[in-house]
């Protein structure tokens, strides 16, 4: 693969309305998000609960705005289910993504997860025995192979409150899965989980097939830990924000992607309360930040050889 960035910048509708917390922007029509996202310069959207779930209808809605379907979250349960059960469950969603041009599926493990529960993050589930990790990795790899047969790659989303949260969890996940399983690198979740986002991206960039660009407010993260907030409490109190509005070094992150020839989407995905962080203003800030970095990198040769 030739070094250098070949990326498109997309966004998740969570900047306008939050699926997990409907009170945050629940009254905002989908058309508002799509028209504003297009006006800002975004090329595509990830899916949310306001999008149609039939391929032709989805293509029509996005097509009216000249937008692509980037991907869509899938609530997986391979920590508890068999591969056969998961393949049966994913059928409709996989068909939707494949028929609307998405090449990656955001896989979020929700079995036993507390990401939507009123529980402190310290109570998240964990694999405690090596054989649990190995079996999970085998199931994920087989499931990823099934997705690839339909032209879609599994993009595993490490996530606060779930089995794979911390840097060591991500390291282990990469060890026990095959290349059929790609990594969705989320800069905000990695930082919230105590990781060095730049170091972790550098370590696993060869497996990265999708990127969520989320910034953080460190003082809010410290409060979340000290006060045993739940994940959703952390969101409401402003743990996350868009690139350029927090503490994460996005020039360094995108520089790593540039040097390793990343091809794919950069997705602004920063759950906030739009009453506090106005949707258009913050979505534009995130886009301008990423666009500026990508354009600057295009003027410089990569520092490493292709992977």
> How far apart, in whole angstroms, are the C-alpha atoms of residue 274 and residue 16?
6
Task: List the chain domain ranges.
Answer: 6-298
CATH architecture of the domain covering 6-298: Alpha-Beta Barrel (3.20)
- C-alpha pair distances (Å), 155 with each of 57, 116, 169: 25, 21, 15
**C-alpha to C-alpha distance for 155 and 71, rounded to whole angstroms:** 10
pTM listed for this prediction = 0.95
* Cβ-based neighbours of 256, under 8 Å, separated by 6 or more: 198, 201, 202, 205
Closest CA to 198 of 241, 249, 149: 249
Which residues are CB-neighbours of 94 under 8 A, at least 6 positions away? 105, 147, 150, 152
For the chain, 307 residues long, give each residue's pLDDT as a single digit of tens: 456 779 999 999 998 987 777 777 677 899 999 999 999 999 999 999 999 999 999 999 999 999 999 999 999 999 999 999 999 999 999 999 999 999 999 999 999 999 999 999 999 999 999 999 999 999 999 999 999 999 999 999 999 999 999 999 999 999 999 999 999 999 999 999 999 999 999 999 999 999 999 999 999 999 999 999 999 999 999 999 999 999 999 999 999 999 999 999 999 998 888 889 999 999 999 999 999 999 999 988 777 544 3
Q: What tens digit of pLDDT does each residue of 13-45 get?
A: 998 987 777 777 677 899 999 999 999 999 999
Q: Where are the alpha helices (DSSP H) in the chain?
A: 30-40, 55-63, 83-99, 130-148, 167-176, 187-192, 197-204, 218-226, 231-236, 250-259, 279-298
């Amino acid at each position: 693969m030739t070094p250098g960035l070949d990326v498109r910048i997309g966004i998740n509708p969570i900047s306008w309305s939050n699926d997990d917390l409907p009170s945050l922007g629940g009254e905002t029509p989908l058309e508002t998000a799509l028209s504003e996202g297009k006006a800002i310069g975004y090329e595509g959207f990830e899916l949310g609960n306001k999008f149609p779930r039939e391929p032709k209808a989805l293509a029509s809605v996005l097509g009216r705005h000249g937008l692509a379907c980037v991907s869509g979250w899938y609530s997986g349960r391979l920590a508890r289910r068999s591969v056969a059960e998961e393949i049966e469950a994913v059928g409709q969603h996989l068909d939707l993504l494949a028929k609307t041009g998405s090449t990656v599926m955001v896989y979020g493990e929700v079995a036993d997860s507390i990401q939507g529960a009123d529980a402190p993050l310290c109570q998240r589930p964990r694999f405690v025995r090596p054989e649990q990790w190995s079996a999970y990795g085998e199931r994920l790899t087989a499931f990823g192979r099934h997705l690839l047969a339909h032209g879609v790659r599994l993009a595993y989303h490490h996530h606060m409150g779930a089995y794979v949260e911390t840097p060591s969890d991500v390291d282990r996940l990469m060890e026990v899965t095959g290349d059929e399983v790609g990594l969705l690198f989320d800069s905000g979740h990695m930082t919230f989980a105590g990781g060095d986002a730049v170091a972790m991206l550098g370590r696993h960039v060869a497996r990265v097939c999708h990127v969520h660009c989320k910034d953080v407010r460190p003082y809010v993260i410290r409060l979340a830990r000290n006060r045993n907030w739940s994940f959703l409490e952390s969101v409401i109190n402003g743990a996350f924000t868009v690139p350029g509005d927090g503490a994460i070094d996005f020039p360094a992150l995108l520089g790593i992607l540039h040097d390793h020839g990343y091809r794919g989407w950069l997705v602004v995905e920063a759950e906030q309360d739009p009453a506090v962080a106005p949707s258009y203003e913050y979505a534009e800030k995130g886009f301008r930040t990423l666009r500026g970095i990508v354009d600057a990198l295009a003027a410089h040769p990569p520092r490493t050889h292709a992977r």
